Copies of this chain bind each other. A is one copy, B any other.
Amino acid sequence: MSKQYFGAIELGGTKTNVMVADADNHQLAKKVFPTLSPDETIADICNFFKSTISSEGIKLESIGIGSFGPVDLHPESKTFGYITSTPKPGWQFVNIKGNIESALNIQTRIDTDVNAAALGEYSCKSMNTIKNMVYITIGTGIGAGIIINGNLVHGLVHPEFGHIHLPHDKRIDPFPGICPYHRDCFEGLASGPALTERWRMPADEIPQDHVAWDLEGEYIAYAVSDLICTVSPEKIILGGGVMHRYYLYDIIRTKTVSIINRYIRSKYLEESIGDYITAPRLKSDSGLIGALCLAVHADKPE
């Protein structure tokens, strides 16, 4: 049997990563380009796969897509595989799965970008004994991929964890929030663009000693604590652009332990918090490797 190759797409709010690899992540080709209009970006994606197929003389078994959301993941729905009510201009109700399938004539499996990233991280060997895991991304948007008993959580739709509501003391932080749907939900208060707007400077130019980071760590710690009280994860991975500020991890760990206040007793919280709330093992590759996992399991029931 000749070697099997798979395609992987990580469609992000600002950039898109694509890759061709075998099931063990031996990579044949990889590319990144900015996410523009749906037409331009779908064309960029399809051109990458067509040219790789032709230059390498291979065929692809399937393609996995991790996309920014919300994505309609109900196979019986008329808009299955569409990006739906996203705030991203031009991308509302784009049939991302269908367009790629018909342009390339290939089976695909789609999930949200954060679900893909959670799958990627969960495929690491160190996760062997873990049943419940959460991957939270904090960047242009905020979202979470949640794995319970070894499987991704879907359901009514899929988690939209960036849109939970947290304590927001307007006397301390009068910033009203920037979410067009909810104003001061988690994403509205703590995403990269929220940092930029609150502090009137680009988020990546805010200095390390600025009060911004203590407040940012507090919102993230409240969200992490809410997750611990809701799905009881054995591992919490924090990724995304905002978390490139590595000192946030310790702020979040300390505040989470303080918020939980020893009500939930666990060695994870008491002894090994540094390993419990942690950075992605795969660094910025979690989503793309997760999309590869989706491709490898493209024939599993949705």
Chain A positions near chain B (C-beta within 8 angstroms): 70, 84-85, 131-132, 144, 146, 148-149, 151, 153-171, 181-182, 184, 222, 225-234, 259-266, 268-269
How far apart are the CA atoms of A185 and B93 in the complex, in Å? 37
How far apart are the CA atoms of A181 and B149 in the complex, in Å? 29
| A230 and B231 contact, Cβ closer than 8 Å, known pairs A156-B268, A169-B170, A182-B259 | yes
Contact of A85 with B161 in the complex, beta carbons under 8 Å: no
Contact of A225 with B158 in the complex, beta carbons under 8 Å: no
Chain B residues closer than 8 Å to A164, beta-carbon distance: 225-226, 229-230
How far apart are the CA atoms of A164 and B231 in the complex, in Å? 11
**Candidates B160, B226, B266; contact of A165 at CB < 8 Å:** B226
Q: How near does chain B come to A184, taking the closest CB pair, in angstroms?
A: 8
Chain B residues closer than 8 Å to A84, beta-carbon distance: 265
Query: Which 10 A/B pairs are nearest by Cβ-Cβ distance?
Result: A155-B232, A132-B155, A181-B263, A164-B226, A148-B148, A156-B232, A160-B229, A164-B229, A163-B229, A181-B261
Identical copies in the complex: 2
Chain B residues closer than 8 Å to A264, beta-carbon distance: 70, 85, 156-157, 160, 163
Chain B residues closer than 8 Å to A260, beta-carbon distance: 163
**14 chain-A/chain-B pairs, Cβ below 8 angstroms:** A70-B265, A148-B151, A155-B231, A155-B232, A156-B233, A160-B232, A162-B229, A163-B264, A164-B230, A170-B171, A171-B171, A181-B263, A182-B261, A230-B230
Contact of B165 with A259 in the complex, beta carbons under 8 Å: yes
Please indicate which of the listed interface residues A155, A162, A171, A181 has the most CB atoms of chain B within 10 Å of its own CB.
A155
Besides the known contacts A181-B263, A182-B261, A227-B230, 11 further A-B residue pairs in the complex with CB atoms under 8 A apart: A85-B263, A85-B265, A149-B153, A155-B232, A156-B228, A164-B230, A167-B167, A169-B170, A181-B262, A226-B226, A226-B230
